[in-house]
């Protein structure tokens, strides 16, 4: 019999519906796997008792015929989604003691659909990072290894992807500001979908950069991604950036037929710095789609070269504003006042103690670019460039249906190998442009590096056209036939 944790969401859903397995048994298997994989440091908080109670409720729904697609499916929740009465830290000492009195809309939607929470997944502090090494609770280790060398899982959704790749949970929530769903998916041989900005509510998500943050699913297959997105998405009046548009049946979009679709290949994504094996995989991806009946079209996104510096002005600027609320007054960490200290000294001490080095770095950058004398020189210019980057995509989609690119410029790297911030930021070079434009994108595992590590290809689509993105991704997934998985070294 297949190990229950090996089941995909679609497989588990069908077996649950046929009453071949129970939600409790599926959840118990996930809890056992989570406990056995603590060496990965994938979870900040484990919630086994709550998970089993939710599983029992799911079994009741299944027995009554009131099941939804995610009913009884164990999921890991990235620890920036507020979960009522369950600690939510955003990977930071600042929020270490915070227990929300309310639920994020995304997780509330999942629970309404019958999903089961097994725990809160570790992450880069306040979602700021590309390797999951900036968490206050320690680095997450990639289930994939290179000999005896520990690798990063990517970030900031590193705990979420580790839980998927290690066969702990069937699905996980992630958030993507500049690539934090797609990049870690590529590093771990999993599927990561960033929906269109506004497709999933941001209510109850701990904010990093409000004009960029977007929730999305992390799964093992494209079909699972379609199922999970359907349960997460929806209009929310509590989020002013939520878009009131119908949620289609994404799974029905997976027809396997992409004949006649036009696939854009942006010339600007070719770089002398990109390893030959990633360029070769990109070429292979084009061939797979061409063989499936799609037309390959060369396009230009001329402002792509400005995307990374634009992002690292806009995102820190918004972060410096959003993180100003953490002053030790209302909730979270508060520094101990010495006799004679005033309120300003308490603010300073609280923020110095509560934030890690990467968060402080981005707050300082953001404060600088928003300051008098530099606002016009940096922030306003970055916003103008952001508009030009978005316009490039709009013009491209007049000619093509989706765009195909690599997801990352390299496979997963060793823990501690990229301490230079600029080298770390370069990991987002292929993912940031779509984030600035607010467009949907998905990373699909498509091959292995010469060292045997996962590599991903990225498909980008028009705003609110996740259906076409998923349809093309499904075809590419079938063509790639990626079945590799990490060895179980952590038990």
pLDDT in tens, the chain (491 residues): 469 999 999 999 999 999 999 999 999 999 999 999 999 999 999 999 999 999 999 999 999 999 999 999 999 999 999 999 999 999 999 999 999 999 999 999 999 999 999 999 999 999 999 999 999 999 999 999 999 999 999 999 999 999 999 999 999 999 999 999 999 999 999 999 999 999 999 999 999 999 999 999 999 999 999 999 999 999 999 999 999 999 999 999 999 999 999 999 999 998 777 889 999 999 999 999 999 999 999 999 999 999 999 999 999 999 999 999 999 988 899 998 777 678 888 999 999 999 999 999 999 999 999 998 899 989 999 999 999 999 999 999 999 999 999 999 999 999 999 888 888 998 899 999 999 999 999 999 999 999 999 999 999 999 999 999 999 999 999 999 999 999 999 98
Both 80 and 153 in one domain: the answer is: yes
Nearest to 165 by CA among 1, 6, 4, 3: 6
Pairing of strands 262-266, 402-406: parallel
**Distance from C-alpha of 319 to C-alpha of 80, rounded to nearest angstrom:** 14
Residue 352 included in any domain: yes
Alpha carbons within 13 A on the beta-carbon side of 354: 28
Residue 328 included in any domain: yes
Give yes or no for a contact between 346 and 115, defined as CB atoms under 8 angstroms apart.
no
The end-to-end CA distance of the chain, in Å, is 21
**Distance from C-alpha of 160 to C-alpha of 181, rounded to nearest angstrom:** 9
Catalytic entry in 92, 131, 134, 156: 156
**Distance from C-alpha of 180 to C-alpha of 170, rounded to nearest angstrom:** 19
- According to DSSP, the residues that pair with 447 across neighbouring strands are 455
Residue 279 included in any domain: no
Give yes or no for a contact between 208 and 253, defined as CB atoms under 8 angstroms apart.
no
Both 25 and 94 in one domain: the answer is: yes
**Distance from C-alpha of 348 to C-alpha of 327, rounded to nearest angstrom:** 8
pTM value is 0.96
List, as one string, the DSSP characters of 386-407: HHHHHHHHHHHTTT-SEEEEES
Domain termination site, one of 356, 384, 412: 384
- Please state the φ and ψ torsions of residue 46, each to the nearest 5 degrees: -100, 140
Both 356 and 459 in one domain: the answer is: no
Catalytic entry in 92, 135, 180, 201: 180
**pLDDT of 338:** 76
Both 18 and 123 in one domain: the answer is: yes
CA angle 405, 408, 409 (to 5 degrees): 100
Residue 380 included in any domain: yes
Q: Chain centroid to CA 482: how far?
A: 20
Both 183 and 124 in one domain: the answer is: yes
Domain termination site, one of 327, 355, 384: 384
Both 97 and 8 in one domain: the answer is: yes
Give yes or no for a contact between 121 and 87, defined as CB atoms under 8 angstroms apart.
no
**pLDDT of 228:** 98
Both 376 and 254 in one domain: the answer is: no
- Please state the φ and ψ torsions of residue 119, each to the nearest 5 degrees: 170, 175
Catalytic entry in 78, 141, 194, 471: 78
Axis crossing angle, helix 381-396 with helix 307-322, rounded to the nearest 10: 120
Pairing of strands 74-78, 116-121: parallel
**pLDDT of 371:** 93
Q: Decide if 381 is catalytic.
A: no
Write out the two tokens for 391: 């316009």
Asked if the peptide bond before residue 156 counts as cis, ω within 30 degrees of 0, the response is yes
Residue 491 included in any domain: no
**CATH code, 41:** 3.90.1300.10
Q: Which residues contact 376 (CB under 8 A, 6 or more apart)?
A: none
**pLDDT of 420:** 86
- According to DSSP, the residues that pair with 448 across neighbouring strands are 454
Q: Decide if 156 is catalytic.
A: yes
Both 102 and 239 in one domain: the answer is: yes
Both 75 and 146 in one domain: the answer is: yes
Element (H, E) at 475: helix 466-480
Maximum Cα–Cα distance across the chain: 74
Residue 292 included in any domain: no
Both 95 and 159 in one domain: the answer is: yes
Residue 359 included in any domain: yes
**pLDDT of 1:** 41
**pLDDT of 48:** 98
- Please state the φ and ψ torsions of residue 7, each to the nearest 5 degrees: -65, 140
Structural domains counted in the chain: 2
Which domain, by its residues, includes 375? Answer: 305-384
Give yes or no for a contact between 122 and 116, defined as CB atoms under 8 angstroms apart.
no
Both 316 and 378 in one domain: the answer is: yes
**Distance from C-alpha of 274 to C-alpha of 158, rounded to nearest angstrom:** 23
Both 240 and 334 in one domain: the answer is: no
Domain termination site, one of 359, 384, 409: 384
Residue 159 included in any domain: yes
**Distance from C-alpha of 21 to C-alpha of 15, rounded to nearest angstrom:** 6
Nearest to 445 by CA among 83, 124, 188: 188
């Amino acid at each position: 019999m297949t190990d229950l944790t090996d089941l995909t969401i679609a497989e588990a859903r069908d077996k649950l519906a046929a009453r071949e397995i129970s939600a409790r048994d599926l959840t118990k298997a996930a809890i056992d796997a989570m406990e056995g994989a603590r060496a990965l440091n994938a979870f900040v908080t484990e919630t086994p008792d709550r998970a089993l109670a939710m599983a029992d409720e799911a079994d009741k729904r299944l027995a009554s015929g009131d099941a939804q697609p995610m009913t009884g499916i164990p999921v890991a929740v990235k620890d920036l989604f507020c979960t009522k009465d369950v600690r939510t830290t955003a990977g930071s000492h600042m929020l270490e003691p915070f227990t929300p009195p309310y639920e994020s809309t995304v997780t509330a939607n999942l629970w309404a659909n019958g999903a089961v929470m097994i725990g809160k997944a570790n992450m880069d502090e306040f979602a700021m990072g590309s390797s999951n090494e900036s968490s206050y609770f320690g680095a997450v280790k990639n289930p994939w290894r290179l000999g005896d060398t520990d690798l990063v899982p990517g970030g900031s959704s590193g705990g979420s992807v580790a839980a998927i790749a290690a066969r702990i949970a069937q699905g996980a929530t992630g958030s993507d500001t500049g690539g934090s769903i797609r990049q870690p998916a590529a590093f771990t041989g999993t599927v990561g979908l960033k929906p269109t900005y506004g497709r999933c509510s941001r209510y109850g998500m701990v904010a990093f950069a409000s004009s960029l943050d977007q929730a999305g699913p992390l799964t093992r297959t494209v079909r699972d991604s379609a199922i999970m997105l359907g349960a997460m998405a929806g209009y929310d009046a509590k989020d002013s950036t939520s878009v009131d548009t119908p949620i289609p049946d994404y799974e029905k979009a997976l027809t396997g037929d992409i004949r006649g679709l036009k696939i854009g290949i942006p010339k600007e994504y070719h770089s002398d710095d990109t390893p030959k094996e990633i360029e070769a995989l990109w070429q292979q991806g084009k061939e797979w789609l061409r063989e499936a009946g799609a037309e390959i079209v060369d396009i230009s996104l001329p402002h792509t070269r400005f995307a990374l510096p634009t992002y690292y002005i806009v995102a820190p600027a918004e972060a410096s504003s959003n993180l100003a609320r953490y002053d030790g007054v209302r909730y979270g960490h508060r520094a101990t006042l010495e006799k004679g200290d005033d309120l300003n000294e308490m603010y300073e001490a609280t923020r110095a103690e509560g934030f890690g080095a990467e968060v402080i770095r981005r707050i300082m950058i953001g404060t600088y670019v928003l300051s008098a004398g530099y606002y016009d020189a940096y922030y306003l210019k970055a916003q103008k460039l952001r508009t030009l980057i978005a316009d490039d995509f709009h013009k491209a989609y007049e000619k093509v249906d989706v765009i195909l690119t690599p997801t990352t410029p390299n496979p997963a790297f060793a823990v501690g190998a990229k301490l230079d911030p600029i080298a770390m930021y370069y990991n987002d070079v292929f993912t940031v442009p779509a984030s600035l434009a607010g467009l949907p994108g998905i990373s699909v595992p498509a091959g292995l590096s010469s060292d045997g590590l996962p590599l991903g290809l990225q498909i980008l689509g028009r705003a609110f056209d996740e259906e076409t993105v998923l349809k093309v991704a499904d075809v590419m997934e079938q063509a790639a036939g990626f079945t590799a998985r990490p060895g179980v070294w952590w038990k």
